[in-house]
Amino acid sequence: MRCLFTMFAEDVELIPHGSFTALLHKLRGHPEHAAPALRGLWQTMDTGGFSAAQMCDLMRFNGGLFRDADALPLTEGQLSLLIAAGEKDWKEVEPAIFGTLLERALDKRQPHKLGAHYTPRAYVERLVMPTVIEPLRSDWRDVQAAALTLGNQGKLEDARAVVRVFHRQLCDIRMLDPACGSGNFLYVALELMKRLEGEVMALLAELGEEQGHCRWRATPLTHISFWGSS
C-alpha cells in the first residue's frame, strides 16, 4: 500500500516527480539495501522534513499510512517488478481508492473510534450531485438559453459576457469537505465541476471567443478553493 501511494505521489508531484522510481533504479543490483532505503523515505513522509533518500525536503503525509514505515526485504526480481510498476503513469489512477488504502492501514479498532470510513464515489455523488452539481447545471441551462438567444440576435459580445459571468461565479465557489478524510468529496466535486467548466469554455469558443487574443482571460477552475473541515 505504501509503494502504491508513493508511486501516485511522485506522478502527481506530491514528492519530486519520478523520485521514487529513480530511487528504485539506484537500488537495482543491491536489493538488500531496499528495505532500509524505503523505510527511511517513508519515515520522513510520515513526519515531513529532509529525506536522505531523496536529498530534499518532503511534506508530511498524514492519515497514518506511513506511521508504521517498515519495509519488506526484496529480491532482485521483486525490485524489478516495483520498478516496472513505478514507470507507469499513476496520475491515471482514481484517487478515491486511496481512502480504502488508508482505512486498511489503521488499527482494526481505530476506524470505529475515529469514524474513519472512507466513502465510495457512488455515495459521494449522492450528496454532491443534488447539493452542488444540479443547482449549477440548472443555472447553466439558463445561461445557455440566454447566450444562444443573444447570439441568434447577433449580439455575440453580450452573449459571451453572460457566459463569462457564469464562469467567474463557478471559479469563485468555495467547497468544504464534510468528511475531511482522503478528500473523496473534494475530488469528486472538482472533477464534476471541471466537466461543467469544459462545457462553458466550449460554448465561449462557439460564440467566437479567442482566449489567446481577447482582453478577458479566464481564471481556471483548478484555482478554486476546496477546504477540509478540520
Provide the pLDDT for residue 92.
80
Mean of the pLDDT values across residues 80-100? Answer: 82
Of 7-11, 24-28, 93-97, 157-161, the one with minimum mean pLDDT is: 93-97
% of residues, the chain, pLDDT over 70:
77
Residue, of 222 and 53, whose pLDDT is higher: 53
Q: Are 24 and 86 in contact (CB under 8 A)?
A: yes
Q: Grid coordinates 466537466 are at which residue?
A: 195
Mean of the pLDDT values across residues 33-51? Answer: 94
Residue 228 has pLDDT above 70, yes or no: no
Kindly provide the residue ranges of all beta strands, DSSP E only, lying in 79-183, ordered along the sequence.
174-176
Three-state DSSP class for 175? strand
pLDDT category at 105 given cuts 50, 70, 90 is low
User: Mean pLDDT across the chain, nearest whole number?
Assistant: 82
Q: Give 115's DSSP letter.
A: T
Nearest residue to 31 (alpha-carbon basis) of 88, 83, 70, 107 = 83
Q: Are 135 and 193 in contact (CB under 8 A)?
A: no
pLDDT category at 215 given cuts 50, 70, 90 is very low
For the chain, give me the number of helices (H) and strands (E)?
A: 10, 4
Residue 230 has pLDDT above 60, yes or no: no
Of 31-45, 148-162, 170-184, 216-230, the one with minimum mean pLDDT is: 216-230
Residue 222 has pLDDT above 70, yes or no: no
Provide the pLDDT for residue 209.
83
Domain map of the chain by residue range?
A: 2-114, 121-227
Question: What is the distance in angstroms between the CA of the first residue and the CA of the last residue of the chain?
Answer: 25
Those residues with Cβ within 8 angstroms of residue 72's Cβ, 6 or more apart along the chain or in another chain: 35
Q: Is this structure's pTM higher than 0.75?
A: no
Mean of the pLDDT values across residues 50-77? Answer: 88
Those residues with Cβ within 8 angstroms of residue 127's Cβ, 6 or more apart along the chain or in another chain: 178, 185
Q: Give 133's DSSP letter.
A: I
Under the phi-then-psi rule, with left for phi > 0, alpha for psi from -120 to 50, and beta for the rest, what region is 180?
left
